[in-house]
Amino acid sequence: MCGIVGYFGSDKARQYLLEGLERLEYRGYDSAGISILDHEKNRFVSVKTVGRVETLKKRTSHLKEAMLGMGHTRWATHGGVSETNAHPHYAYNGRFIVVHNGVIDNYKTLKADHLKGIDVVNDTNTEVIASLLARFAEKMTVEDAIKQTLDLLEGSFALLILDQDHPSVLYGAKNKSPLILATSNGDWYIASDLLALPSNTERFHVMSDHTWFKLENKTLTSYQAHGATIDFDFEAFKDLGPLAERGEHAHFMLKEMLEQPQILETLVAHHQSHGFDEALVTALKEASSLEIIAAGTSWHAGLVGKHLLEKTLMKPVNVHIASEFAYHPPFVSEHPLFIFISQSGETADLIACHPYIKTKEAPLLTITNVPTSSLSRMADYVLDLKAGPEIAVASTKAYTAQITMIALLCAHITHDQALSNDILTIASSMREFLQDHIKIQPLVKELLTNHHAFYMGRGLDYLTGLEAALKLKEISYIQTEGFAAGELKHGTIALIEEDTPIIALIGEASTSALTRNNIHEVEARGAKALVISFKSLSEPTDAIIFEDVNPMLSPLLLVVPTQLIAYYAALMRGLDIDKPRNLAKSVTVE
């Protein structure tokens, strides 16, 4: 959610800002804007719009190229969707201009204590930052005003700041929300995501919390929060752009689903040749419990991972919703090991859990698709999913990569080569099924005729149903519930009526007969049931039947048709599959 880009270079500010914002569209947004230097007037001009970056491009076509500017895509949190609330925001006197990702928790207090008598122009929490800078700069240098402002801010922020009185300077600051500084051929680029950086980038620095910088005439000075100068460490840049292109596919989500077999094979090959850090293996064995913390799809992957890890390590594994854990931490064992699971590595709910984890002085493992992310830098150990950029808001390949990573870790601990071979078998079955993915479309057209639907199963099938239900509701807007089939008569059956869509997952031999009974119960009440099963557990009327695989890995295969069901349900409704309403790819605000 929300995106920031900045440029200080030769003469391509407008070009880069718009291109960078386009590359950040996948994160989710509802308005956009840029501020760019007008060299003739030696002043910054801003253009803002509700809607897509394409509209912003048209509305800024009259602007000349410039050496300095910044841009933003906003996902509304405080205040509705409007041009007034879109970034960039100005101070009360027009001097400072700010773009901001994050939320300032104490903005009301700051307004009351420091900005009395100043009119509020918009409904956001960002305007207070620009106005604080202006108020403090009346009595001190800009650098001191920034230090004092940063010291007062509570919450999360990635900031870029322009000063109308000094139009050859760009400032940036970071706490909790990601911000990256990069350079190439003497030009400087700033972005909230590596994907927004241009392909010719040479080096980049991922900013740490409580740091800020000043770019004056393209010369960088970097600081700790309270003003002491520091050196930013830069590393070589690898262009991710080609991996983030849709290619011949109609949607990123379809492309990413089709990439899943290759990702599984890549992970197996990598860990067969490189293994895992033995220090991590030792830490897992020595821990008294494992505490998995995640959100959304990653939480569902953690639930599956719990089964794998408990059977491997024979110790308690608990799975927590990050937003709950952060403020209501449960009792944990004396020597836990914590595991963060996150596609982006920037999930604000997980970042909020970190202060508590530090108090436990326990090891932390992060499993993520972005090894340069905030959650990676917090961790003692990092496992890179190697899935490539995931652009569609609805996660698919990251989910299967997360489960595969945990399975491979378990195989390494137990020296179980067979488990790696089982993953390769699943990858082959996935590929065969996905090659003919269009066959799902008529099933969806016949089944999903209502505004609600249900997934049911038992054991691992139930956990797969939770993820399947999330996918369907995310992109088709069909109200969908995943429930444990054994709970049917404990409440959910009251919702079953004529033509209610029920999708049943049967991958567990010990409970397949019980789930079949539940299917008969809903069909007796008029429901339309679609069954996805494995060959040894199947019946002739099942809609989708896979060859048998290792039951512990069955979620990897059973989830694939449910991803396609969600995709084709959204396609049938003519919806924006890659950018569903109100959702953001990377949830960087709590």
C-beta of residue 328 within 8 angstroms of C-beta of residue 374: no
Backbone angles phi, psi at 182, to 5 degrees: -140, 160
Catalytic residue among 2, 410, 471, 528: 2
Cβ neighbour number for residue 231 with a 10 Å cutoff:
8
Distance separating alpha carbons of residues 309 and 316, to the nearest angstrom: 9
Angle (deg, nearest 10), helices 278-286 and 397-414: 80
Angle (CA) 492 496 497, round 5°: 160
| Token pair 């009974």: residue | 517
C-beta of residue 77 within 8 angstroms of C-beta of residue 30: no
Catalytic residue among 176, 471, 473, 585: 585
Among 181, 174, 176, 149, smallest CA distance to 159 is for: 174
Q: What are the C-alpha distances in Å from 573 to residues 436, 448, 449, 452, 570?
A: 21, 11, 11, 14, 5
> What strands lie across the sheet with 229-230, from one edge to the other?
89-90, 96-101, 157-163, 169-175, 211-216, 219-224, 229-230
Distance separating alpha carbons of residues 420 and 271, to the nearest angstrom: 9
DSSP one-letter string for 80-125: -SSTTTSSPEE-TTS-EEEEEES-BTTHHHHHHHH-TTPPP-SSSS
Among 196, 164, 176, 162, smallest CA distance to 87 is for: 162
Distance separating alpha carbons of residues 26 and 215, to the nearest angstrom: 28
Distance separating alpha carbons of residues 413 and 310, to the nearest angstrom: 12
Among 469, 501, 499, 497, smallest CA distance to 484 is for: 469
CA dihedral for 226, 228, 233, 234, sign (positive or negative): positive
108 an active-site residue? Answer: no
| Token pair 């390949």: residue | 397
585 an active-site residue? Answer: yes
Active site residues: 2, 585
